[in-house]
Amino acid sequence: MKILGIDIGGTGIKGVPVDLETEEYIGERFRIETPRPAKPKAVADCVQQLVDHFNWTGPIGIGFPTVIVDGKAMAYGNMHKSWMGVQIDELFSEKTGLPCSVINDADAASLAEVRYGAGKDLKGLVAVITVGTGIGSGLCYNGKLIPNFEFGRIPYKKKPIEKYAANSVRKEEKLTYKEWAERFNFFLKNVELICTPNHYIIGGGISKHMAEFERYLTTDIPIVAAKTKNHAGIIGAACGYLDKLER
């Protein structure tokens, strides 16, 4: 099945048609800047630009950076506060005239990773943790997404724990990988108070440096680096549309 995958972020919106049978892009990925302010109408216009760029007439799967329940924004993340309560799938469908699905961006990355990446042959509960500016997370059980697990929002010292353990914090505070790993290890221990995954997959910018910090982590749960890298959001967004059909 061919689906236009779109990954909406706080700074950029990128997309490309994806053939989920061959696991390949159809063409070159196209990126535009996220509008400022990132209000619903302005972002919908950007989605239309991507549709026009690819001359697309088929289904669209979209990853969006906040909590999404049945296509509706339950928060607004790093987008404009006017997104709160918006039925995003309907907004984009009305704008483009095409069938759209919308899921959380970290959930999208998780879907991509368990179906096409490091988690493809893993069984049981797989936690995909993306560590970059913040900490995103997604849970899948035997390849099926369990949506909206926001482990980066676990409270710590009156702030979300991602404010303590994200890769951006490591850079800002000039922490060594060992110093940062102690924080990330603390984060993983908190995750394990909530659930006990069978596997961790680490994505985001930090995954390129696994060799620098992995030995400092004390969890007994197997950890591997993500494979889909920058493609995860787009591929997973396309998978999200397929999941919607199957429900």
- Does residue 29 lie in a domain region? yes
- Position 242 confidence tier, pLDDT thresholds 50, 70, 90: confident
For residues 214 and 235, membership in a common domain is answered with no
- Does residue 175 lie in a domain region? yes
- Does residue 114 lie in a domain region? no
Per the structure, the count of domains in the chain is 2
In this prediction the pTM is 0.87
- Does residue 139 lie in a domain region? yes
Domain membership of residue 19 as a residue range: 2-107+230-246
pLDDT of residue 234: 93
For residues 237 and 214, membership in a common domain is answered with no
- Does residue 115 lie in a domain region? no
For residues 93 and 126, membership in a common domain is answered with no
- Does residue 206 lie in a domain region? yes
**What is the per-residue pLDDT across 126-150, written as a single tens digit (0 to 9) for each?**
999 999 888 989 999 998 999 989 9
**What is the per-residue pLDDT across 86-120, written as a single tens digit (0 to 9) for each?**
999 999 999 999 999 999 998 999 999 999 899 99
For residues 93 and 125, membership in a common domain is answered with no
**What is the per-residue pLDDT across 176-227, written as a single tens digit (0 to 9) for each?**
999 999 999 999 999 999 999 999 999 988 888 999 999 999 999 999 999 9
**What is the per-residue pLDDT across 18-64, written as a single tens digit (0 to 9) for each?**
998 887 889 999 999 999 999 999 999 999 999 999 999 999 999 99
- Does residue 113 lie in a domain region? no
- Long-range Cβ pairs for the range 116-120 (8 Å, 24+): 116/23, 116/227, 116/228, 116/235, 117/201, 117/226, 117/227, 117/228, 117/232, 118/201, 118/224, 118/225, 118/226, 118/227, 119/143, 119/199, 119/201
CATH number at residue 65: 3.30.420.40
